[in-house]
Each structure stands twice: as C-alpha cells, then as structure tokens.
C-alpha cells in the first residue's frame, strides 16, 4: 500500500512536475504541448513559484519520493466567452489548473487532497471570491472528479466543460 505526501512545489520538483503535466497533455488530452494553451507548463517557475497569489502543489510517493501528481492555482479568470470572463474576473478568481495524477496512482484520493489544499490556499489569500476551472469531457476521470466537487456551468461544442467549485 502506497502512502503519499502533498507539498508546495519547490525548484527541485519542477522537472518531475513538468513531466507529469506533459504526459497528461500527450496521453490523456491527446493535444500534446500547444504553446498558446500550455506556456505555464514550460515556465512553471514563472507562473506558479514567483507570484505569491499562485501556487503549485505536488503529490509524491513517500516510498521513493517520486512526484506522481500536480495541482496548481492562479489568479486568472477565463478569457472567453465574455459572460464567463465577466462572472469570473482576473484577480478575484482562483483558477484551478494542471490537476493531473499519473495513471498508476489514480483513485487513491490524490486529486481530492490536492484540491482541498488549493481551496485552503485560496481562502487564506483572502481576495479570491470564487474558484473556476475548465476541463475536457473526454479526459479520464475529469468530469467524475469535478462533479463531486463543484457545479457544471457550461459545456462547449468541442467538449470543453466549465466548472465553479465552492470556496467556502
């Protein structure tokens, strides 16, 4: 039986965290790396370690120390459509991003634990008013996970699904 820890990522975690993210983009989403959507995956430090209202968590296997999952939060709301951007503005919206768990470590509660810690981080910040994310209908486990945690706002024709997660 594996046991896992969750911690705020440091520079030492970035290589492994990036590998988890890239594997999800290639194997789960099937899009691979697309610069206009995934620049944070390359500049993980600039997006998540520098800004004090952003954070990246990693889940790690306590046996060998390997990073097996990631979960991030930043202060950017959705860009489109306009009604969604208006409802979840930059600065007041904590956006959950890059919640990925390596396939062999799934269904052991890691995403749930990381999201709980990300929500704590957002509450402690004090300036976030809501929590938003988008995901993809076809991604393994994604809709199941987010439906247990929040409310579906809108699904686009191409399978992008938008959610709000309660902050309190």
Stretch of 7-15, 48-56, 76-84, 144-152 lying at the interface with ligand COA (CB under 6 A): 144-152
Angle between helix 14-23 and helix 35-42 axes, rounded to 10 deg: 150
> Minimum distance between the CB of residue 42 and ligand COA, rounded to whole angstroms?
18
Kindly state the tokens that stand for 153.
């706002």
Which positions from 49 through 108 interact with ligand COA, judged by CB under 6 A? 99-101, 106-108
Residue 15 φ/ψ, nearest 5 degrees = -60, -50
Do 6 and 57 contact (CB within 8 A), yes or no?
Answer: yes
Decide if residue 110 touches ligand COA (CB under 6 A): yes
Alpha-carbon span 54 to 33, nearest angstrom: 22
Which range in 8-16, 31-39, 74-82, 140-148 contacts ligand COA by CB under 6 A?
A: 140-148
**Binding stretches for ligand COA (CB under 6 A):** 24, 28, 99-101, 106-112, 135, 139-142, 144-145, 148
């Amino acid at each position: 039986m594996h046991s896992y820890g969750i911690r705020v990522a440091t520079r030492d975690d970035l290589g492994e965290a990036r590998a988890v993210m890239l594997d999800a983009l290639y194997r789960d989403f099937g899009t691979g790396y697309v610069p206009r959507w995934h620049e944070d995956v390359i500049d993980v430090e600039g997006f998540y370690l520098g800004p004090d209202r952003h954070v990246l968590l990693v889940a790690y296997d306590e046996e060998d120390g390997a990073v097996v999952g990631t979960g991030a939060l930043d202060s950017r709301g959705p860009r489109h459509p306009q009604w969604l951007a208006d409802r979840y503005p930059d600065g007041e919206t904590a956006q959950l991003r890059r919640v990925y768990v390596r396939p062999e470590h799934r269904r052991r509660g890691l995403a749930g634990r990381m999201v709980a810690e990300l929500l704590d981080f957002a509450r402690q910040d004090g300036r976030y008013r809501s929590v938003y994310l988008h995901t993809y209908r076809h991604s393994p486990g994604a809709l199941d996970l987010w439906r247990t945690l929040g409310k579906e706002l809108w699904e686009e024709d191409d399978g992008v699904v938008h959610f709000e997660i309660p902050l309190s």
